[in-house]
Amino acid sequence: MNKSYNQIEDFLDGNLIGKELSIFISQKELDKELAKEIELRFEVNELIKDNGFFELREKLELQRNESYVNSSIIKFRKDLFKTWHFAAASFALILVVGGLWYILSNKPYSTEKLVSKYYKPAHPLLQVRSAEIKSDDALATAFKYYKDNDFNSALKYFNSLENQMTAKFYSGVCFIELEQYDDAIESFTAVINDNDNLFVEQANWYLGLIYLMDNQKNKAIEQFEKISKDENYYTSQAKEILKYLN
């Protein structure tokens, strides 16, 4: 390429004017290699400018433009500056990418993200104890509404079976979906205290998630620590959550 480093930088800095600018633009249109070099240096300059190197770049430009005793020293200085130019750009890129990685990898999960990752409403269950199915079609009707995400209607039927732990557990899930957290806590606590039903482990898990949803971090930590010490389906997930909370 015949165009010097100075001309390209002068062009990018807006220092070429008049006939000199017209000639340079014409040659840029004809010389693909020159056009690529200009584009590359423009991108590098922007990267350097964005990352606090612009002031240093100006100082080095002043030094580079000083007169020297012979042309070999001048050439050496230009080559050195060019090398620094790309090294600085590479360093800037490392700072940007590395800094972004550090921020993302160390940024704690928000409560919303944790809940979104770990919470799912319980699947409707129809295979319940025969003792609990005596109450005509109330439970089946409740599950019908539950499957349709009509949680208010489902609650009416679940609450009519308040002494059944199946109904009590699913009423807790309905309360979560309706963001009635105090009522959900009451429902799951009743299931846990009963301790003679199929839903104790799930109730403990949902109780921890409710504390997260309700911004009760200390209670959430206490609940997930309790779950993490048990050997059940939720143990590993509780340990994962604790890593984000502690």
Which of the residue ranges 31-35, 116-120, 152-156 has the most confident prediction, judged by mean pLDDT? 152-156
CA nearest 187: which of 201, 211, 203? 203
Based on the fold, state whether residues 151 and 203 are members of the same structural domain.
Answer: yes
- Which residues fall within 8 angstroms of residue 31, CB to CB, at 6 or more apart? 1, 3
Same domain, 72 and 138: no
pLDDT one-digit tens code per residue, 215-236: 999 999 999 999 999 889 999 9
188 and 233 belong to one structural domain: yes
Tell me: do 136 and 205 sit in the same domain.
yes
For residue range 62-113, what is the model confidence (pLDDT) as tens digits?
655 554 444 544 454 445 445 545 555 554 444 444 544 443 444 455 778 8
H or E element at residue 216: none
Domain shared by 128 and 241, yes or no: yes
Mean pLDDT of 195-217: 95
Task: Give yes or no: residues 81 and 117 share one domain.
Answer: no
pLDDT tens for 129-182 read 444 445 458 899 999 999 999 999 999 999 999 789 999 999 999 999 999 999
- Both structure tokens of 15: 């220092």
Residue % of the chain over a pLDDT of 90: 41
Pair 133, 102 in one domain: no
Q: Are residues 116 and 234 in the same domain?
A: yes
Residues written for the chain = 246
Closest CA to 124 of 191, 186, 174, 159: 174
Domain enclosing residue 232, as ranges: 111-245
Same domain? For 87 and 121 the reply is no
Look-up: residue for tokens 């959550």?
A: 241
Which one of 106, 127, 159 terminates a domain? 106
pTM above 0.85, yes or no: no
Task: Verify that 29 and 75 share a domain, yes or no.
Answer: yes
Mean per-residue pLDDT over the chain, rounded: 75
1 touches 33 (CB < 8 A): yes
Q: Are residues 101 and 175 in the same domain?
A: no
**CATH code of the domain covering residue 187:** 1.25.40.10
